[in-house]
Amino acid sequence: MDQPKNYAILTNNTSQTQEFVAKLLGNISIDELKLLQNKRGLLFSRSEIERFMDEEDRHDLKILTKDTPQSLKTMSSGEQKKALLNYLLNQEPDFLVLINPFDNLDVATQESLKEQLTEISKSRSLVHFTSRLGDILPVTTDFFKLNGNELEKYASPEAFWEANRHDDPQFKGTIPAPINPIKEESTELVNFTNISVSFNGRQVLKDINWSVKQGEFWQLIGPNGSGKTTMLSMITGDSHKGYGQDLTLFGQKKGSGESVWDLKQRIGYFTPSVTDKFRGYHSLENMIISGLHDSIGLYVLPTQAERRLAGQWLKLLGMHDKKDTHFRELTSGEKRLVMTARAMVKHPPLLILDEPTAGLDDKSAALFVALVNKIAKESDSAILFVSHRDEPKLNPQFIFELIPSENGSIGIIHNEK
Ligand SMILES: Nc1ncnc2c1ncn2[C@@H]1O[C@H](COP(=O)(O)OP(=O)(O)OP(=O)(O)O)[C@@H](O)[C@H]1O
């Protein structure tokens, strides 16, 4: 039997991936992929996982999780992806369409998924849509780029790699100062002392000790399911697991009558799914100003000072000429830069960025990382950057690593990378 073809399709901010995948799975003829014509393909993507989560939530249909009492929603990304892949393989498709399969996965899980896909690629074709060059599988036989809806084929792997290298991005100018600086009395923003967390009798975090002080730049890493989201939600006030334990936030012991509103005031938070809340027609200027009011739209007329400040941020991002453009018209990379500016506009004592580069192409991710490094250097905000990926150019001062063990993850601190 001939070795099946394996296709890598590099995507960028212009790619209409969803439309293209719909064509491919709908058996609409695509010249460059004609070997897949009339074959049965199945989709492995984040959106599929979300669709199954929705089925569980709304219709109580446990499809991917039928063999476990746990819901898909509470599983780690690695557990969710494993469940989806098993489900798809059981249906014996001719080919698999993968969209950014390694996003949100830790290094070890990425490696084991890579091995599994390499094995699968021997018996069926893979069509791998990826925004990251580093994710391309060595078994790839045919290289493409998706520009808009057009597939561009490269004559050789060498031609592909040569054409898609990119230079390091730079921002010109400095981080704009806040209008009303927030005075933070406590030098220690976060303190976990021997914090442990269990879900349904299973311990997830064990004796976590961690202190984040003003102005520090931390990266929080750990394999899927190690408890990163659990820790973050204790900091943002979205989890009650901190009550009755020795958790202090901005100098106030958890459970001592602190208000969640007060907490939110001191934290700038960004995770890519937040972007979905902004579906209306918000101009970029209003988007940034709304960060001063913690609102989704803007309900009061902005002051001159606020408009000036928004202008300074947009200038820094190289989007000054787009101040009246609607947010929804931006590429996903641009949206994340604007959302980060929005989270940062007040200069909150703590800026949390949760998997902020997931799904971005290399160029947009590098630009995002350059912005974060700049914020770390030029502001007094402490930064907490959560990611699985080793973002090559990210310059955290400290890394907090969660290492799973049978009795829950323990935390280890590394100085710099
Ligand atoms: N509400 C819940 N009920 C039951 N189990 C939960 C709940 N929330 C989290 N878990 C479990 O706790 C563990 C830690 O989950 P958490 O989401 O904090 O990990 P993570 O490090 O953020 O993972 P990922 O990187 O995949 O997002 C996982 O095994 C998860 O299944």
* Atom 6 in ligand 1: residue holding the nearest Cα: 74
> Residue 181: what pLDDT?
86
Cβ atoms of 160 and 175 within 8 Å: the answer is no
Give the separation between CA 254 and CA 247, rounded to whole angstroms: 6
3-state class (DSSP) for residue 24? helix
Q: 5: burial class by Cβ within 10 Å (0-12, 13-18, 19+)?
A: middle
Cβ atoms of 44 and 101 within 8 Å: the answer is yes
> Residue 417: what pLDDT?
54
Radius of gyration of the chain from its Cα atoms, rounded to whole angstroms: 23
Beta strands in 214-349 (DSSP E): 217-221, 246-249, 252-253, 267-270
Ligand 1 mutation target, pool 230, 386, 405, most atoms within 8 A of CB: 230
> Residue 416: what pLDDT?
66
What does the CA dihedral 187, 191, 393, 45 come to, rounded to 10 degrees?
-140
Domains, the chain, ranges and CATH? 6-163 (3.40.50.300), 188-415 (3.40.50.300)
* Atom 7 in ligand 1: residue holding the nearest Cα: 74
* ipTM for the assembly: 0.96
Give the separation between CA 135 and CA 8, rounded to whole angstroms: 10
For tokens 């442990």, what's the residue? 196
Give the separation between CA 267 and CA 236, rounded to whole angstroms: 8
Cβ atoms of 235 and 190 within 8 Å: the answer is yes
Strands 125-130 and 95-99: parallel
Q: Give distance in angstroms: CA of 274 to centre of ligand 1.
A: 19
Give the separation between CA 73 and CA 242, rounded to whole angstroms: 21
Ligand 1 mutation target, pool 71, 76, 403, most atoms within 8 A of CB: 76
Cβ atoms of 415 and 395 within 8 Å: the answer is no
Instruction: Please give the chain's pLDDT, 417 residues, in tens.
Output: 567 899 999 998 788 999 999 999 998 888 889 889 889 999 999 999 999 998 888 887 788 888 888 889 888 888 899 999 999 999 999 999 999 999 888 878 888 899 999 999 999 999 999 988 889 999 999 999 999 999 999 999 889 988 887 766 778 889 999 998 888 889 999 999 999 999 988 999 999 999 999 999 999 999 888 999 999 999 998 888 877 889 999 998 887 777 777 888 899 999 988 887 787 788 999 999 999 887 666 667 889 999 999 999 999 998 989 989 999 999 888 999 999 999 999 999 999 999 999 888 888 888 899 999 999 999 999 999 998 767 888 999 999 999 999 999 999 998 865
Give the separation between CA 225 and CA 403, rounded to whole angstroms: 10
Q: Which atom of ligand 1 is closest in space to residue 226's alpha carbon?
A: 21
The contacts of residue 4 (CB under 8 Å, 6+ apart) are 95, 121, 122, 123, 124, 125
Q: Angle of helix 332-344 relative to helix 362-378, nearest 10 degrees?
A: 10
Extract the tokens encoding 172: 């010109």
* Ligand 1 pocket by Cβ (under 6 Å): 74-78, 199-200, 204, 222, 224-230
Chain centroid to CA 120: 27
The contacts of residue 368 (CB under 8 Å, 6+ apart) are 333, 336, 337, 340, 356, 357, 360
> Residue 13: what pLDDT?
77
Extract the tokens encoding 247: 């958790």
> Residue 297: what pLDDT?
65
> Residue 164: what pLDDT?
85
What is the edge-to-edge ordering of all strands in the sheet holding 202-213? Answer: 202-213, 188-199, 246-249, 252-253
**pTM of the shown model:** 0.75
HSE (side-chain half, CA atoms, 13 Å) at 193: 9
